[in-house]
Amino acid sequence: MNFHVLTLFPEMIENGMRTSITGRAMEKGILTLHTVNIRDFAFNKHQKVDDYTYGGGAGMLMQAEPVYLAWASVAEKIEKQPRVIYLTPQGRTFRQDMARELAQEENLVFLCGHYEGIDERVLEEIVTDPVSIGDYVLTGGELPAMVMMDAISRMVPGVLNNQESGETESFSGNLLEYPQYSRPEEWHGKKVPEVLLSGHHGNVDKWRREQSILRTAKWRPDLLKGAELSGKEWNYVHQLKKKWKETQEKNENL
């Protein structure tokens, strides 16, 4: 996977990505990172990249030409036209399935905006995927680009070692991951669930599956719609919801 990032703050991306697991994957050559400073493509006296918006309104806008030239400098080196992700709160919301899908690409270009955004005309010409990382507004696209690259990297074969990857993890099958415990067996008076100490793999798997369903029903009930549960498991969900509703009603009547 080759990441290319068009940004006004390349050092932010370099510092963030060349550490920890993504940094290790770059050293191994499984990932590459190529940052392009958009300012290097502003050929005016002060290398200015922004200007006022036509029609008035607060703030400055990034101009089309430096963004276009920065993109062209990357695109000309890649045989097939790469997907260009523009980080914007107006985009499609980033999710695990999108990370999985994007990890199949050989090259990905991320375009990070600043100020009030980027001139619409260049976005029309180069962007293939406008993406948001959530319904809130950040000061620029660098953090969202790093969030996406981190999540995508984990899906690239070889980036995680076997121990880190874990076959089951949150969002696989639309369920959250079960709770996990390490040593000591008792901490602050809390004991590790007995079944996990039993060495009985069948029972452990059953308990974990149940916990995944319980946790998803409690914290992210919206995910359950897309989960593949057996009839018995759906029954369990209905029982849980009934129990929680009764507890809530009891508490309200107190």
Residues 74-103 close enough to bind ligand ADE by CB under 6 A: 87-89
Question: Residue count at the site for ligand ADE (CB under 6 A)?
Answer: 11
Q: How far apart are the first and last CA of the chain?
A: 58
- Closer of 13 and 213 to ligand ADE (Cβ): 13
Cβ at position 1, least distance to ligand ADE in Å: 20
Cβ pair 156, 165 in contact under 8 A: no
- Closer of 134 and 179 to ligand ADE (Cβ): 134
Q: Which of 133, 163, 159 is nearest to 148 (CA)?
A: 133
Cα–Cα distance for residue pair 177/198, rounded to 1 Å: 20
Q: Tell me: does residue 158 bind ligand ADE (CB under 6 A).
A: no
Number of C-alpha atoms within 13 angstroms, CB side, residue 212?
23
- Closer of 133 and 175 to ligand ADE (Cβ): 133
Residues 116-145 close enough to bind ligand ADE by CB under 6 A: 132-134, 136-138, 141, 144
- Tokens 């079960």, residue? 178
Please, what is the Cα angle at 100 between 159 and 217, to 5 degrees? 110
Please, what is the Cα angle at 202 between 158 and 187, to 5 degrees? 80
Cβ at position 19, least distance to ligand ADE in Å: 22
Cβ at position 111, least distance to ligand ADE in Å: 10
Cβ at position 134, least distance to ligand ADE in Å: 5
Cβ at position 118, least distance to ligand ADE in Å: 11
Residue 129 neighbours by CB distance under 10 Å: 18
Q: Which residues would be at the binding site for ligand ADE (CB under 6 A)? A: 87-89, 132-134, 136-138, 141, 144
